[in-house]
Amino acid sequence: TANDAEQELTDGFHLIIDALKLNGLNTIYGVPGIPITDFGRMAQAEGIRVLSFRHEQNAGYAASIAGFLTKKPGVCLTVSAPGFLNGLTALAHATTNCFPMILISGSSEREIVDLQQGDYEEMDQLAVAKPLCKAAFRVLHAQDIGIGVARAIRAAVSGRPGGVYLDLPAKLFGQVMNADAGKKSLVKVIDAAPAQIPAPDSVKRALDVLKSAKKPLIILGKGAAYAQADGEIRTLIEKSGIPFLPMSMAKGLLPDTHPQCAGAARSTVLKDSDVVMLIGARLNWLLSHGKGKTWGDAPKKFIQIDIEPKEMDSNVEIVAPVVGDIGSCVSALVQGMGSNWQTPPADWIKTVQTKRDDNVAKMAPRLMNNNSPMDYHGALGVLRTIIKERPDAILVNEGANTLDLARGIIDMYQPRKRIDVGTWGIMGIGMGYSIAAAIETGKPVLAVEGDSAFGFSGMEVETICRYKLPVCVVIFNNDGIYRGTDVNPSGGSDVAPTVFVKGARYDKMMEAFGGVGVNAKTPDELKRAVNAAMDSGKPTLINAVIDPAAGSESGRIGNLNPQSVLKKK
Ligand SMILES: Cc1ncc(Cc2csc(CCOP(=O)(O)OP(=O)(O)O)c2C)c(N)n1
Ligand SMILES: [Mg+2]
């Protein structure tokens, strides 16, 4: 009866769960503990997938890449203070990479925090989070939960996506209110990431500049991959006939084997192009800030497509800024190109294709190396073939040599299949990304990990086994960071700071939790083990033995290391 409905109650626990479900957020990545353990149990009981990790940082990385892959904010749930701080690295990473993510942390009551009275895991989390994320909100009253969750979702996905912190003090969960009023307080977010249409004259200006080019280049950034405007982007590239250079996580938007792909001719196209159109790519350190020897000394004009107006002129002058969401901008450009677009001069196309084919040919024999212990090229040659045969698989990649060489050697064929260290070049994303990629897409995951990189999140192999995920981890074990051969110059008993236990057997870790462990000493053993893993879908860890002398310091970015000009003592 109406009277019963009047009396029926709901509470904070249920309102948060209802708000998440109402907005299609059905997965939570987290670590249980006071004050959110029961919340996790209740969310699972209500049909939300609640994945428990061994460290909040990995749960946070999982949530961040879930956002990139789905365009819905990934949700990470942690306890107060230390758990929150562990998740905060991932929230800052999401914000830096423009991935939509919400970090939900339990927290202490305001009255205790503000008087600094020493609560259990006390910290002013909202204040700590604010400078490191896109937006941060705290909810004190149950009737505000609907609005709080709605604001967090909209802030995470609208405009330039990013990380949002949602602070939930412990007492909020137990607060009760009338069920009917509670239901009415919930908000289903309408059009959370509205299309942002570019100004027609900005499109015209961009096309005029592009038309004037003799040596145009299009650079696709991970923003272009995130946009899920794959068809429009393919049309723009193929209709324009312009060579394209995909940044790491944009690989596969068009296949790396596409005739217009200039990935293998990167240095030539950056140096010799005269007009560069950036699509969802920022001119940051990954593109040498658009200046210096990488870009040659011929004058260049930059066109930039980005949803963030403040990105323009960040590093060099942008002569044709196009501000809007990438799908809308690319569609407007294609429309504006009309039906008689002039493709670039044949000699430019030929220059790029010749350079590319030469570089691919030069690399080919090294990929056949059958050495044992393996070198990077021999091992990566095997994985290159496997990804070509299994284009559906998602490739997770981190390390230094393991990352830089894999990026250039393993071709990608589909969008959003390569997920890696991103803008910060952060180590530790491996297992969190692998778990989220498997959960969000249901596809098999191949994680290609440096042995150091793996160490940052290695304990999550238990999580992978616990949820029986189709993840095959290949560790390039060269006994250390960059190499395994450094020695302690002092002659002391400590090993050098960059070397690990010689001949470590990481495969035994996976066996410890019921997964499949393989020690692979040759490319052939590696090939058999990876194919078996991809066929079986069983959690597998392959310890690929790599020559400890094979790597170089910091992979391809050794030049960023400060050097001492003083003579070594
Ligand atoms: C959170 C964080 N801490 C440290 C570092 C610095 C670093 C960059 S690359 C790397 C590991 C390289 O060794 P690995 O064995 O993975 O690869 P390989 O070259 O094939 O031997 C470290 C520690 C970064 N980037 N992020
Ligand atoms: Mg290593």
What digits encode the pLDDT tens for the residues 321-376?
Answer: 999 999 999 999 999 999 999 999 999 999 999 999 999 999 999 999 998 899 99
Ligand nearest to the CA of 552: 1
pLDDT score of 50: 98
pLDDT score of 121: 87
Q: Which atom of ligand 1 is least distant from the CA of 478?
A: 21
Encode pLDDT of 517-549 as tens digits: 999 999 999 999 999 999 999 999 999 999 999
pLDDT score of 554: 83
Ligand nearest to the CA of 450: 1
Q: Residue 473: beta bridge partners?
A: 447, 541
> Residue 154 has which token pair?
């909209």
Among 250-254, 303-307, 555-559, the minimum mean pLDDT is found in 555-559
> For residue 339, how far is its CA from the centre of ligand 2 (angstroms)?
51
> For residue 545, how far is its CA from the centre of ligand 2 (angstroms)?
10
Place of tokens 């149990």: 41
Nearest CA to ligand 1 atom 9: 400
Nearest CA to ligand 1 atom 3: 427
Q: What is the mean pLDDT of residues 228-249?
A: 98
> For residue 269, how far is its CA from the centre of ligand 2 (angstroms)?
31
pLDDT score of 7: 79
pLDDT score of 569: 61
> For residue 441, how far is its CA from the centre of ligand 2 (angstroms)?
29
Residue 3 has pLDDT above 80, yes or no: no
Nearest CA to ligand 1 atom 5: 427
Ligand nearest to the CA of 477: 2
CB count within 10 Å of CB 381 equals 25
Ligand nearest to the CA of 421: 1
What ipTM goes with this model? 0.99
Ligand 1 neighbours (beta carbon < 6 A):
399-402, 425-428, 450-453, 476, 478, 481-482, 551, 555
> What is the best residue among 286, 448, 451, 452 to mutate for testing ligand 1's pocket, by most ligand atoms within 8 Å of CB?
452
- What is the Cα–Cα distance from 533 to 156, expressed in whole angstroms? 36
- What is the Cα–Cα distance from 451 to 503, expressed in whole angstroms? 11
> What is the best residue among 396, 482, 483, 556 to mutate for testing ligand 1's pocket, by most ligand atoms within 8 Å of CB?
482
Q: CA nearest 391: which of 366, 416, 367?
A: 416
Ligand nearest to the CA of 379: 1
> Residue 309 has which token pair?
């107006």
pTM tops 0.95, yes or no: yes
- Count of alpha carbons within 13 Å of 51, Cβ hemisphere only? 36
Encode pLDDT of 176-215 as tens digits: 999 999 999 999 999 999 999 999 999 999 999 999 999 9
Residue 5 has pLDDT above 60, yes or no: no
> For residue 409, how far is its CA from the centre of ligand 2 (angstroms)?
18
> For residue 454, how far is its CA from the centre of ligand 2 (angstroms)?
9
Among 98-102, 111-115, 268-272, the minimum mean pLDDT is found in 111-115
C-alpha separations of 22 from 106, 145, 379 in Å: 21, 12, 46
pLDDT score of 243: 98
Nearest CA to ligand 1 atom 4: 427
pLDDT band at 567; cut points 50, 70, 90: confident
Q: CA nearest 97: which of 251, 266, 221, 232?
A: 221
Inter-residue contact 136 to 284 (CB < 8 Å): no
